[in-house]
Amino acid sequence: MPKFDLYDGHGDSVAHLRGFCSKMRGASGKDKLLMAYFSQSLSSSALEWYTRQDHSRWYTSDDLAQVFARHFQYNIEIVPDRLSLTKIEKKPSESFIEYGFRWREQAARVNSPMEESEMVEYFLQALESIFFGHLISAIGKSFNEVVKMGGMVEERLKSSKIMSYSAIKATTQSIQNDTEGVIGKKKKEDVATIDSGSWFGPRGPSHQYTQPRPHH
């Protein structure tokens, strides 16, 4: 059983077909065998697509190859550029390392290959503020080192050893609101005290106005 490079629905589907046929060179001309093993070279969304197909419509392995290549053609037609790389966001369901690998795959498809330092720069621009703040010092390191550092930051965030910027902001705002509330309450109490006449003390004013008596 050959060990296939798995295709997950991203990247060049035609290149995957070539690699699969190369691994299955000994089964050339055996369409049923080729079609049966093809699913073993798929994963994720590509495997989901395969399981939803009507296999009875494929009479030869060429039929399968044409449908497969046609469906995933958009991966070839939509070639990312440097600006689009900065808009690739981390999915909530993936780890930072998985995100880094997915971002790297797209960066490899950009026309005019990117230098390692340039790749790190654009990757940092694509990060959420919490990761960017902790990884900005990674400029000058290799892309793999940056991804490893991001994975460590993620683990520390999960264990609450690093407080996120949003958490800091929320905490600061809460403290500020509490302080403003106390100050506002104090001002209201002072105004109420003045209005009630207690400004002069518990016995009233220190002097009282006495109307003069008429002289006879």
Strand ranges (DSSP E) for the chain?
A: none
Decide if pLDDT at 152 tops 60.
yes
Euclidean distance between CA atoms 77 and 59, whole angstroms:
28
Range name among 17-31, 36-50, 143-157 with the lowest pLDDT average: 17-31
How far is the first Cα of the chain from the last one, in angstroms, to the nearest whole number?
133
Question: In this structure, is the dihedral angle defined by the CA atoms of residues 202, 203, 207 and 208, taken in order, positive or negative?
Answer: positive
Euclidean distance between CA atoms 125 and 121, whole angstroms:
7
pLDDT digits (tens, 9 = 90+) for 67-107: 998 888 876 656 678 988 999 999 888 999 999 999 998 88
Of 138, 139, 134, the closest CA to residue 155 belongs to 134
List C-alpha distances in Å: 187 to 56, 164, 194, 196.
81, 35, 11, 14
Range name among 38-47, 64-73, 187-196 with the lowest pLDDT average: 187-196
Q: What is the pLDDT of residue 88?
A: 92
> Comparing 37 with 202, which gets the higher pLDDT?
37
> Comparing 12 with 173, which gets the higher pLDDT?
12
Decide if pLDDT at 143 tops 90.
yes
Euclidean distance between CA atoms 161 and 109, whole angstroms:
37
pTM of the model: 0.45
Mean of the per-residue pLDDT values of the chain: 78
